[in-house]
Structure 1
Amino acid sequence: MSIFHAIILAIVEGLTEFLPISSTGHMIIVSSILGINEDEFTKLFEVCIQLGAILAVVVLYWKKFFNANILKFYTKLAIAVVPALIIGYLFADKIDALLESPMTVGISLVLGGIVLLFVDNWFQNPKIDSEEKVNIFQAIRIGFYQCIAMIPGVSRSAASIIGGMQQGLTRKAAAEFSFFLAVPTMAAVTGYKLMKNHELIFAHSENLQLLLIGNVVAFIVAMLAIKFFIGFLNKYGFRVWGIYRIIVGLIIIGALLMNVDLKV
């Protein structure tokens, strides 16, 4: 992996992590196009640069993460992340196997896109407009929705936002709760991967430099993407993202059916 590759992947991570279009799916395809998909460090890199993206959430919403109600806030997040931690641990091998399937990504993008075409019509009378009004039971239900995103191409953001809307949250409140929930979820995944594959970081002298660059770029791009997404979502809803997902998914499926090498 070169610095150029690191910057490209970090931009993709920052742009897609909090949008309902699947950051994992996009990075799987982009790393394949760049020809670095079979590099073990690339796979670790794609996970580790999530730290930069989640730091963007903490910085943008620092008042949420460091305020007088911090215990209640973190309790909800801790409980909501439990389903993902348990299911992720129990089915880690099967999830890793799915991560090597571009066809799974393509199909998930299309199916998720179809859902996004109609989701705005399903939840038209939200009653919860802020995280403070989300109770423990609603938080854990949203956490279960998040688990669907363990299938590559589904999108953690899309799954948890839809889960939030199903629990009565407005689009803005559901998106923000999804951002908050990403912090412990992605931190846990990244920490686990680092402990399991820490030797890869020091296998080559430039790996630490690549991780630093990747996290900085992902942080900056994620800051911009989050600000853009909240405003766009409030004004236009999910339909545009649904159309985008369907187009990208069909392109991936079509390429695979024509025997284009997207092996990851």
Structure 2
Amino acid sequence: MSAFRLYTGVVGFVFAAMSLSPNCLLAGDPWSLGEIEAPLDAGTVGIREVVVVKTTSQFKPMVAVRSLAEGSLWWVLDEGVFRGPNRYEVGVRFGNEQTPTGTCFQVTVLDAKDAASAKKVRAGDSWENLPPGISYSHVITVFTGNNPKATPPIMDSVPATFPATLVSPKPGSTAKRAQSVSWALDVPANDRPSLLVRVAEENSPWWVQSSLRRSTDKKRFSGIARIGNLHTAPGTQFLLMLVRPKSSAAGAALQTGSVLTDTSDYHCSPEFTLTAK
């Protein structure tokens, strides 16, 4: 096969995949103060990548990612860090070890022109479509390739399961779409479990929620659990669970908005049920 035919085949694959979504060719907001420098549009990414943003905003930009699979949502990731003037970096996870090569994702930068706009977007937010009133960069499309990188494991020093109690709301109660949750558990001072949520249906994936906050007495954790979206039917049941990674590689997978289909690399708390209002 000639190099030209290979190139056109790859480009054709990318644009065919982009056609899966009617909203995938998004030009962005002309007032956006940020643009994505890496990865490149229509480029290949590994499972774990760093998104590099060039921005002139005085506020931290937020990166949102979604898969082009049917029904996928935009997820706002955890905040990144500035790496010099106008350069901002955010760690992103594209799928997991089971994600097929060639799976397409979209990435955009959400930025704010003022303090009021900055409060509209928080890590862990999810939307079916990018909301109006928020500036966003040109949306790039990337697709997954092979990722040969491996992270050395850390010592496995915690039990296979650990006790935890959902203090608020009470297990079995109803919950809002953005539900405040509080947990009681006793773990080492430098340990911070991650919160997972999924629909209480067979084979439904776990969604990684925003980072939990630890209380001053070190025995309480609090945060926000995303219980469905605008289209979730009232009465839909969800499962909540805390996890602790068995290795640094497993820990790196716990990015806000990421999906887990296999929790064998994690120590897990009991599961608790909440019902969507």
User: Scaled by the length of structure 2, what TM-score is found?
Assistant: 0.22
TM (normalized to structure 1)?
A: 0.23
Q: Which has the higher strand share?
A: 2
* Structure (1/2) with the larger helix percentage: 1
Between 1 and 2, higher relative CO (CA 8 Å, sep ≥ 6) is seen in: 1
